[in-house]
């Protein structure tokens, strides 16, 4: 018998374009810079439930800093940021090539997302802690982490600060406010909340900042962290770096077609800010706002950093297999490095010549660091003493580790 | 010296540590004002304040994740997972994070957390309130797993766990909370009153992790057990009439291998008793270690007396539960070889 009921239809979201198509970002509404209001950082969350659906931008299409979110940074601070971003890009290109030359097993670039780590690293204090993803190298660059030690880690050589135990680029740098990375995505998001709760419990003044990719917001870790951050009013800044791609899955597979990632905050009663992640000044301003809110016991903020992963997921990925090859160049919010540079030139604080000179200096610094690490040894040519394999499992090794180390003869 | 049951001695350990160390804090489902479904955190919030002992959302993953973050900060969190059966949503946090943080960060960060969780059967709790997951944790490099069998050890081991700089899974045999259960479920319930291990100092002391206790000296066969099974073993040994030596392992990581080897070399026989199902259980590891280290001293194959390889059943609890009669039969079998 025929039923009168509507047949159900099964929906699987797809991106608007695939390889061979012309790039198309028409699905994103990009409002002009400077149009989003900036409430006081102590505002009640209920007053700002419109913000997660907007896009905080400061740098306009002409490179001018406009609107209430303009952080009015000194030229020196902006050049610090530009330097960190440029250094990140040069380092990424050089180490990606090192992988292709067989010097290491794996590499991941931050290309297109450098403004995020650079700005946030400079906004937060040295005693604060960030709980990174693998695409915020610019955090470390902004704080002057020794380049040769990055390369030593990437090579897992004798001078690897992580003693040969961890995959390339999964750094840990406590003195630089950079928590231990892991290849399991999302699993440190709740650590940031716990760390922030501990700071509040201890009546200290430190805050935490955590990153998660938009794809990983689908993990329970994300929702658990938001719940705890909200319930205990933790002094933490929770950032979703929405770079549109989780390996080959577009953001719609994580729910991005239905709402914004910033809007996830609303159900938890947390402020949600949606920010142009390719705009160094907008990232700075939103982070400063959330940091002030956290430091004054007003709790956590969720920030969606709307950006674009301009390169493949890792050295093991070829993005032309699943998205138009020219999509990166078509991103409507441009390149973060070019935009900050244009702004600095526009206000007369920077020039093409100075930029070229800085590029040369940083390229030389990276080359020297790689050379230094090459001399120690690339992957497989040099490694820490094998005894290190048995250390650090516990604070003190138990009999198993002592016996097994003896069995291996190291 | 006060007499305490295991709930009281665990409560006393937490009370002592909250008093001694401002870095210690407790959180978990229902542990705050209410004092926990088994009363282990009773009155700790009232005595030490809201911030030292508080309720958590029903989110085992979130509880362990935030505890790790607190531990990395420098605190000594003692989260409770209400039943060990509910620990699995936190498994990624325990395996990929707590157990690996020190190693992968080159010693920059670590997670000195003590995860308390009631475990084991004998309370008609069915599949989701009765399981014994210790072997899963023993397999995870970087975790310590502690299982007390009496009030005195429970307090001393819990204090040692809280003071330990490594993550510790602290499994509390819930059937022992109120009395030393020997597996004879049809007999009158015993309390801890009058038991020599229910004499518990009110103040601070610790029992080191990784030291087994000789619960009964004997010459003919070694029995290895922990948690509730220590009491079942005593009953089974008595029933068998065999002069068995019983080791209460107290922690399975770290494991007191020296005590095990010494006893098995002396007796030449070994029976392993645990509540968890057999295949892939911790008894397999114990058996392998004994075979590797005591082979030439063995007079009989090592036997395992365990729960069956089924989910923990409700109606068949006493058919599943490895009671004293099964141990006695195994002891007689190994003595025939």
- A 192-231 → B contacts, CB under 8 A: 192-199, 201-202, 208, 220-221, 224-225, 227-228, 231
What's the rounded Cα separation, in Å, for the pair A305 and A265? 13
Residue A34 forms part of a structural domain: no
Residue A392 forms part of a structural domain: no
Residue A110 buriedness (CB in 10 A; 0-12 / 13-18 / 19+): buried
Instruction: Please name which of B178, B177, B134 lies closest in space to residue B286, comparing C-alpha atoms.
Output: B134
- Tell me if B107 sits within 8 A of A162, measured CB to CB: no
- Specify the pLDDT at position A2: 64
Q: Which of A180, A226, A232, A398 has the most B C-beta neighbours within 10 Å, making it the best mutation to test the interface with B?
A: A180
Question: Percent helix, strand and coil across chain B, each rounded to 5?
Answer: 40, 20, 40
User: Between the CA atoms of B203, B208, B212 and B215, what dihedral angle is there, to the nearest 10 degrees?
Assistant: -10
What's the rounded Cα separation, in Å, for the pair B273 and B202? 32
B70 contacts A395? CB cut-off 8 A:
no
Interface check for B309 against chain A (CB to CB < 8 A): the answer is no
CATH architecture of B213-336: 3-Layer(aba) Sandwich (3.40)
- Chain A partners within 8 Å of B71 (Cβ): 194
Residue A127 forms part of a structural domain: yes
- A 286-325 → B contacts, CB under 8 A: none
Q: Is the peptide bond before B254 cis (omega within 30 degrees of 0)?
A: yes
Alpha-carbon distances of A173 from A83, A106, A149, A150, rounded to whole Å: 20, 19, 11, 10
Rg value, chain B, Cα: 19
A194 contacts B67? CB cut-off 8 A:
yes
Q: What angle do CA B324, B239, B300 make, to 5 degrees?
A: 80
How many domains does one find in chain A? Answer: 1
Q: Which of A164, A191, A398 has the most B C-beta neighbours within 10 Å, making it the best mutation to test the interface with B?
A: A191
- Chain A partners within 8 Å of B209 (Cβ): none
What's the rounded Cα separation, in Å, for the pair B115 and B167? 8
**Long-range CB contacts for residues A361-364, cutoff 8 Å, separation at least 24:** A362/A83, A362/A86, A362/A87, A362/A90, A363/A90, A363/A94
- Chain B partners within 8 Å of A190 (Cβ): 61-62, 65-66, 68-69, 93
- Specify the pLDDT at position A1: 60
| Other C-beta atoms lying within 10 Å of the C-beta of residue A177 | 22
Helix axes A147-155, A352-376, angle to 10 degrees: 50
Phi, psi of A61 (to 5 degrees): -65, -15
Find the residue in A nearest to B256 (Cα).
A399
B144 contacts A394? CB cut-off 8 A:
yes
**What is the distance in angstroms between the Cα of A237 and the nearest Cα belonging to chain B?**
14
B25 contacts A224? CB cut-off 8 A:
no
- Chain A partners within 8 Å of B293 (Cβ): none
Residue A192 forms part of a structural domain: yes
B109 contacts A231? CB cut-off 8 A:
no
Q: Which of B63, B73, B163 has the most A C-beta neighbours within 10 Å, making it the best mutation to test the interface with A?
A: B73
Tell me, yes or no, if the pTM score tops 0.95: yes
A191 contacts B68? CB cut-off 8 A:
yes
Residue A42 forms part of a structural domain: no
Which is the catalytic residue, given B48, B129, B197, B274? B129
Evaluate the CA torsion angle B104, B110, B112, B118 in order and state its sign. Answer: negative
What's the rounded Cα separation, in Å, for the pair A149 and A134? 16
pLDDT in tens, B30-60: 999 999 999 999 999 999 999 999 999 999 9
Interface check for A352 against chain B (CB to CB < 8 A): the answer is no
Residue A213 belongs to what domain range? Answer: 48-316+324-379
Q: Which residues contact A248 (CB under 8 A, 6 or more apart)?
A: A313, A317, A319, A321, A322, A323
Alpha-carbon distances of A199 from A66, A294, B259, rounded to whole Å: 35, 11, 43
Instruction: Please name which of A241, A237, A240 lies closest in space to residue A291, comparing C-alpha atoms.
Output: A237
Per DSSP bridges, beta strands B244-248 and B53-55 are unpaired
- Specify the pLDDT at position A3: 74
B297 is catalytic: no
Which tokens belong to B192? 């801890």
Residue A82 forms part of a structural domain: yes
What's the rounded Cα separation, in Å, for the pair B52 and B200? 24
Find the residue in B nearest to A181 (Cα).
B105
What's the rounded Cα separation, in Å, for the pair B181 and B191? 9
Residue A20 forms part of a structural domain: no
Q: Which of B54, B97, B105 has the most A C-beta neighbours within 10 Å, making it the best mutation to test the interface with A?
A: B105
| Other C-beta atoms lying within 10 Å of the C-beta of residue A329 | 11
- Tell me if B30 sits within 8 A of B44, measured CB to CB: no
- Chain B partners within 8 Å of A201 (Cβ): 25, 51, 70, 75
Rg value, chain A, Cα: 22
CA atoms within 13 A on the CB side of B233: 32
Question: Percent helix, strand and coil across chain A, each rounded to 5?
Answer: 45, 10, 50
**What is the distance in angstroms between the Cα of B147 and the nearest Cα belonging to chain A?**
18
- Tell me if A313 sits within 8 A of A251, measured CB to CB: no
A228 contacts B59? CB cut-off 8 A:
yes
Instruction: Please name which of A394, A193, A81 lies closest in space to residue B65, comparing C-alpha atoms.
Output: A193
Domains B6-198 and B213-336 equal at CATH topology level: yes
The CATH code of the domain that includes A208 is 3.40.50.970
**Class for the domain spanning B6-198:** alpha beta
Instruction: Please name which of B162, B149, B159 lies closest in space to residue B197, comparing C-alpha atoms.
Output: B149
Asked whether the predicted pLDDT for residue B97 surpasses 80, the reply is yes
**What is the distance in angstroms between the Cα of B265 and the nearest Cα belonging to chain A?**
19
Asked whether the predicted pLDDT for residue B1 surpasses 90, the reply is no
Q: Which helix (H) or strand (E) holds A242?
A: strand A236-242
- Tell me if B5 sits within 8 A of B151, measured CB to CB: yes
Residue A36 forms part of a structural domain: no
- Tell me if A245 sits within 8 A of A251, measured CB to CB: yes
Evaluate the CA torsion angle A64, A68, A69, A75 in order and state its sign. Answer: positive
Q: What angle do CA B226, B227, B232 make, to 5 degrees?
A: 85
Region B181-203: mean pLDDT is: 96
Residue A348 buriedness (CB in 10 A; 0-12 / 13-18 / 19+): exposed
Low-confidence ranges of chain A (pLDDT < 50): none
**What is the distance in angstroms between the Cα of A398 and the nearest Cα belonging to chain B?**
7
Q: Which residue has tokens 């081991």?
A: B157
- Tell me if B90 sits within 8 A of B67, measured CB to CB: no
Alpha-carbon distances of A84 from A10, A124, A226, rounded to whole Å: 46, 15, 30
Which tokens belong to B57? 């959302």
**Domain locations in chain B as residue ranges:** 6-198, 213-336
What's the rounded Cα separation, in Å, for the pair A221 and A184? 11
């Amino acid at each position: 018998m025929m039923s009168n009921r509507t047949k159900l239809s099964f929906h699987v979201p797809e991106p608007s374009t695939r390889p061979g198509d012309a790039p198309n970002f028409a699905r994103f509404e990009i409002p002009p810079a400077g149009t989003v209001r900036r409430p006081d950082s102590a505002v009640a969350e209920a007053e700002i439930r419109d913000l997660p659906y907007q896009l905080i931008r400061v740098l306009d299409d002409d490179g001018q800093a406009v609107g209430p979110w303009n952080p009015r940074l000194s030229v020196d601070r902006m050049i610090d940021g530009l330097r960190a971003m440029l250094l990140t890009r040069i380092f990424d290109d050089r180490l990606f090539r090192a992988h292709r030359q067989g010097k290491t097993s794996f590499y991941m670039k931050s290309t297109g997302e450098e403004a995020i780590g650079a700005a946030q690293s400079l906004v937060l204090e040295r005693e604060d802690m960030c709980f990174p993803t693998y695409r915020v190298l610019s955090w470390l660059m902004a704080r002057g982490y020794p380049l040769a030690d990055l390369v030593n880690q990437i090579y897992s050589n004798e001078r690897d600060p992580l003693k040969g135990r961890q995959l390339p680029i999964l750094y840990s740098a406590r003195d630089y406010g950079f928590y231990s990375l892991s290849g399991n995505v999302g699993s440190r998001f709740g650590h940031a909340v716990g760390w922030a709760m501990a700071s509040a419990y201890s009546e200290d003044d430190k805050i935490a900042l955590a990153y998660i990719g938009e794809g990983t917001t689908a993990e329970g870790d994300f929702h658990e962290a938001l719940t705890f951050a909200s319930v205990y009013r933790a002094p933490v800044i929770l950032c979703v770096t929405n770079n549109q791609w989780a390996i080959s899955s577009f953001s719609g597979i994580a729910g991005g077609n239905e709402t914004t990632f910033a809007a996830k905050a609303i159900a938890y009663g947390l402020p949600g800010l949606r920010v142009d992640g390719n705009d160094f000044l907008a990232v700075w301003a939103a982070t400063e706002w959330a940091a002030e809110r956290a430091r004054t016991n007003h709790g956590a903020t969720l920030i969606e950093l709307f950006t674009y992963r301009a390169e493949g997921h890792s050295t093991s990925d070829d993005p032309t297999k699943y998205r138009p090859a020219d999509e990166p160049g078509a991103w409507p919010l441009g390149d973060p490095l070019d935009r900050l540079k244009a702004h600095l030139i526009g206000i007369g604080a920077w020039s093409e010549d100075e930029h070229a000179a800085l590029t040369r200096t940083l390229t030389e610094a990276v080359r020297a660091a790689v050379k230094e690490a090459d001399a120690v040894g690339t992957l497989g040519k040099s490694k820490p003493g094998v005894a290190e394999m048995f250390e650090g499992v516990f604070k003190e090794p138990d009999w198993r580790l002592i016996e097994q180390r003896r069995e291996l003869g190291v | 010296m006060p007499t305490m049951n295991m709930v009281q001695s665990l409560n006393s350990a937490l009370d002592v540590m909250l008093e001694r160390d401002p870095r210690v804090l407790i959180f978990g489902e229902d542990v705050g004002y209410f004092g926990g479904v088994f009363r282990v955190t009773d009155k700790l919030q009232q005595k030490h304040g809201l911030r030292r002992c508080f309720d958590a959302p029903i989110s085992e993953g979130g509880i362990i994740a935030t505890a790790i973050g607190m531990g990395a900060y420098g605190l000594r969190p003692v989260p409770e997972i209400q039943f060990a059966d509910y620990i699995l949503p936190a498994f990624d946090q325990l395996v990929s994070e707590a157990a690996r943080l020190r190693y992968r960060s080159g010693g920059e960060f670590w997670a000195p957390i003590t995860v308390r969780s009631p475990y084991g059967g004998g309370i008609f709790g069915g599949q989701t309130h009765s399981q014994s997951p210790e072997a899963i944790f023993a397999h995870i490099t970087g975790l310590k797993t502690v299982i007390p069998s009496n009030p005195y050890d429970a307090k001393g081991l819990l204090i040692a766990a809280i003071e330990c700089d490594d993550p510790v899974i602290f499994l509390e045999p819930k059937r022992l909370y109120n009395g030393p259960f020997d597996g004879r479920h049809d007999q009158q319930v015993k309390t801890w009153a009058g038991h020599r291990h229910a004499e518990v100092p009110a103040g601070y002391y610790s029992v080191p992790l990784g030291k087994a206790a000789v619960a009964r000296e004997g010459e003919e066969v070694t029995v290895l057990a922990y948690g509730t099974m220590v009491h079942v073993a005593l009953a089974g040994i008595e029933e068998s009439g065999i002069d068995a030596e019983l080791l209460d392992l107290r922690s399975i990581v770290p494991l007191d291998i020296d005590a095990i080897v010494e006893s098995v070399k002396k007796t030449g026989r070994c029976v392993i008793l645990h509540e968890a199902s057999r295949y892939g259980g911790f008894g397999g590891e114990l058996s392998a270690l004994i075979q590797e280290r005591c082979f030439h001293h063995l007079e009989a194959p090592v036997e395992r007396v365990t729960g069956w390889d089924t989910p923990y059943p409700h109606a068949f609890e006493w058919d599943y539960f490895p009671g004293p009669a099964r141990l006695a039969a195994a002891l007689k079998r190994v003595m025939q070889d």
